[in-house]
Amino acid sequence: MSKDIHKTAIVSSKAEIDEDVYIGPFCIIGEEVVIRRGTKLISNVIVEGDTEIGKDCVIHPFATIGVAPQDLKYKNEETGVKIGNKNIIREYVSIHRASVGGDGFTEIGDSNFLMAYVHIAHDCKIGNSVIMANAATLAGHVHVEDYAVIGGLVAVHQFTRIGAYAMVGGFSGIGQDIPPYTMASGARAKLYGLNAIGLKRHGFSDEAINSLKKAYKILFREKRTLKDALKKIKSDLPETPEIKHLIEFIEKNKRGICR
């Protein structure tokens, strides 16, 4: 048990807390919780249920992690939350444990930045280096891939996916999958081109960006069906890792692709 626990914190004797974890004033830690080394809970943080938090995370006041999902079907079944390393979780963020409709865990990867009032519902899967701005809200079973950026006050419909390196503008409503590498915005979100500046900032080569631009044009500007557009991309463009991922993402869609 870590010795760096404030005297006003309530920490279950059954919780697994690494030696150099900091738990600040008025935090409440349940008996099934695991917190790894270097993580700091600044104050007034509640962590309960089968929840594991990785190394070197910083969790700000009034965040709640691992509480029961907002799902009327949930009847206190054994589900949990898994959070990776080096995440920044700001004030009033809520991360709910899974329901019984998924694989049992809500999961968050490494190096994510979740700004104030972000909500991550049951069974969501968040990759690595994702940025979610203030009050961005994910309904249940949403998947967000690595390096996606979600603007403030965005609402994402359940079972929707947001692809890698995509950028979603603030005040948007997301009801269909946002393809990787693209930009989307709007009350009923529409695509607004490739996230070219973001890709350059992340070190994508000019060749990779140009190939993605060609793929985007085929998919969304040539008035083709998705099936026909994918067929043309496969025949006309080199199978770079980016093109391969874009094709696989679109082929796996269930809610439809934002156009």
User: Taking Cα atoms as reference points, which of 173, 74, 161 lies closest to residue 122?
Assistant: 74
Note whether 132 and 6 are same-domain residues: yes
**Catalytic site includes residue 206:** no
* 58 within 8 A of 39, measured Cβ to Cβ: yes
Catalytic-role residue among 30, 49, 140, 163? 140
**Catalytic site includes residue 140:** yes
pLDDT digits (tens, 9 = 90+) for 42-96: 999 999 999 999 999 999 999 999 999 999 999 999 999 999 999 999 999 999 9
The whole domain housing 236 covers: 197-250
Catalytic-role residue among 50, 110, 123, 177? 123
Catalytic-role residue among 122, 127, 163, 198? 122
Instruction: Output the domain CATH number for residue 71.
Output: 2.160.10.10
**Cα 79 to the center of its chain, rounded Å:** 18
CA distance 53 to 73: 26
Note whether 102 and 33 are same-domain residues: yes
Identify whether 201 is part of a domain. yes
Note whether 131 and 35 are same-domain residues: yes
Identify whether 168 is part of a domain. no
- For the chain, what is the domain count? 2
Whether pTM > 0.95 for this model: the answer is: yes
pLDDT digits (tens, 9 = 90+) for 116-143: 999 999 999 999 999 999 999 999 999 9
Coil, helix or strand at residue 35: strand
Note whether 117 and 9 are same-domain residues: yes
**Catalytic site includes residue 123:** yes
CA distance 57 to 37: 9
Note whether 96 and 25 are same-domain residues: yes
- Name the token pair of 81: 């939350």
Coil, helix or strand at residue 200: helix
